[in-house]
Amino acid sequence: MGVYDYLKLSGTPLSSHILAEVLDGYLEELISLLVYLLVGLLIGLKIQGGSYTTAILGILLGLLATTGIGLISASMITIIGAWKGVEPIRWLVGLLNGLVSGVYFPVEVLPKEIQDVSLLLPQTYTLKIVRLALLRNFGIGELMPEFAVLLSMAFFLFSIGIILYKYSIDLLKVKTFTE
């Protein structure tokens, strides 16, 4: 039996299980962030004069956009039948994220073609907003082009993610009841 079957037998709504899984992931990441901040404080690392409000807003928009990507990825499991093996959206974003979004080195040092690919990832804009807000004290006004793109991506990706995810849940229910 699969997870869906156990949930059905126990009377637990599928949405409750999904919400619990998502919140668990966010909680783990929050704990990691707090540990990093604590270690930074213990070794004397200080960021002075950063625009924390701008950075937090950038993180929240990035979170919304990447949640949309996650919903699209999760829906592919049912829609294309990626039950076993690697789901293609998660694989592609995971591959590109570290390499082209500015995690390991600035996007500006990459070849032009790869820089163009980096512009398709919301992580690129999120990292740029957070870095410039914290390290150079840039405000929302100075980062408006990045915020505009990130807001558009968040709206588009989250909307498409919700639509595809609802479709995949309906498809899963049809498949489960017809088998």
> pLDDT tens digits for 71-101?
888 888 878 876 666 778 888 888 888 888 8
- The alpha-helical segments, DSSP class H, found in 80-143 are 88-100, 112-118, 122-135
Nearest to 128 by CA among 104, 101, 152, 153: 101
Residue-range definition of the domain harbouring residue 5:
1-46
Taking 80 as the threshold, does the pLDDT of residue 148 lie above it?
yes
Spatial contact of 78 and 166, defined as CB atoms under 8 Å apart? no
Q: Do 107 and 28 have their domain in common?
A: no
Q: Compute the average pLDDT of residues 44-58.
A: 85
15 residue type, one letter:
S
Number of domains in the chain: 2
The confidence score (pLDDT) of residue 19 equals: 76
Residue 94: CB atoms within 10 Å: 13
Cα 151 from chain centroid? Answer: 13
Mean pLDDT of the chain: 86
What's the predicted TM-score (pTM) here? 0.79
User: Which comes out higher in pLDDT, residue 153 or 15?
Assistant: 153
Do 23 and 39 lie in one domain? The reply is yes
**Residues 147 and 93 grouped into a single domain:** yes
If asked whether residues 5 and 62 sit together in one domain, one would say no
Kindly state the average pLDDT of the residues 103-127.
91
At which of 46, 62, 81 does a domain end? 46
Check residue 168 and give its pLDDT.
Answer: 87
Closest CA to 129 of 101, 155, 109, 110: 101
Instruction: Say whether both 95 and 174 belong to one domain.
Output: yes
Distance from the first to the final alpha carbon of the chain: 13
